[in-house]
Amino acid sequence: MNPIIIILSLIVVLVLPDVYILLGFMRGSGMVLKMLQLIPTILLFVTILLLSRYRSTSLFGLATFLILCVVLPKFLFMVISIVGQGLGLLWYRLFYALNYTALGITIIVSLSMLYGITIGWRQLSVKEMELAFDDLPDSFDGYTIVQLSDLHVGTYGQKTAFLQKVVDKVNSLQPDLIVFTGDLVNLRSSEMDPFYNVLSQLQATDGIASVLGNHDYGLYDDNYSGNPYDEGKKVAAEERSMGWQALLNEHIFISRGNDSIAVIGVENTGKPPFPHIGDLGKAMKGVDSTFSILLSHDPSHWRMEVLPKTNIPLTLSGHTHAAQFKMCGWSPSRWLYNEWSGLYEEGGQRLVVSEGVGGTIPFRLGTKPQIVKITLRKR
């Protein structure tokens, strides 16, 4: 994006609300109050400048807090108040009514964002579902799969408490199989260092199968100049060293007596600008008619390739996070993805999209960090 456009956008979003509030509502206020009004914006500018030079989880968290809890509410206040001024030309009472409305909305938004950034992202949830299939082998009736997705461990810095809570909850569900559907890290594989011992505690009868997500390839690190395939391999190596079975366009078989199912894993495949690295044909080679479960990070892959080219009965994805914001069942993810949360079915094939555990910012409002437990049933 053009740097001039970025600078002008920052001025509009960050500076204009302060100018509007100072000139319109604080002309008679003392210098102390005026400075208190400006301090969050000044602090945010300084934080952004520091972030341009230093990759710091603490600085990123501070910037997120200031944007969500201060800048966004002030911007909304300005917009609603300006609308009130325009309508006030028709009826002066509307000006005062909308100013009070703007103030009320500002307070509600600010408190909601504060909840999302301090408490909401810690409120772990478990979504349970039973899925019945005609062609499921008899021995796998009642087989349980726990799906984790989008851990984004770099968001937590050095703090392991929340992920320890996630691991403990998953283990308490006593799954037959754990699957991880991508985005282990934010920028680079080294983010895993503080969390290796915690995530190594995950336990399931048939182990942990995993795939890579778009963030696992080093594409978002401005300082990374290597081949994204190499960085992805480093993340996969981290997973394998924890005992996970990282599936890079490959599959594994799980057996119960004379019956088997296949777990297929593809590298990230989805809509631009995200990388399209997966090779579903290669991953499926040798699976034949075995009942199959596909792990594919981006749910767009389901409609792009899985539905038109395969008869895979169950696909598990993540990626969307439900935009980490949901209200009355609605999320901005609807604008970007046909399938963004929960269970979808078409032509006998099903897709489950997890809302994920983490995100690149520590914030969740209306959508809790999610563990999905699936019980397979023979129909």
pLDDT, tens only, 194-220: 999 999 999 999 999 999 999 999 888
Could you say which DSSP state residue 134 is in? T
Half-sphere exposure of 64 (CA within 13 A, CB side): 19
Q: Do the Cβ atoms of 64 and 157 come closer than 8 Å?
A: no
- What's this model's pTM, rounded to 2 decimal places? 0.90
Query: Smallest Cα–Cα separation from 246: which of 254, 237, 255?
Result: 237
Q: Are strands 291-295 and 259-265 parallel, antiparallel or unpaired?
A: parallel
291 confidence band (pLDDT: 50, 70, 90): very high
Is the domain defined by 124-378 classed in CATH 3.60.21.10? Answer: yes
Residue 9 tokens read as 């956008």
Q: How many CB atoms lie within 10 A of CB 346?
A: 12
Residue 353 tokens read as 């999209």
Domain boundaries, the chain: 3-118, 124-378
Q: Is 203 exposed, middle or buried, given 0-12, 13-18 or 19+ CB atoms closer than 10 A?
A: middle
pLDDT at 4: 64
Locate tokens 């981006």: which residue? 298
Report how far residue 341's alpha carbon sits from residue 354's, in angstroms, rounded to the nearest whole number. Answer: 6
Q: Indicate the residue type of 121.
A: W
91 confidence band (pLDDT: 50, 70, 90): confident
Report how far residue 341's alpha carbon sits from residue 366's, in angstroms, rounded to the nearest whole number. Answer: 13
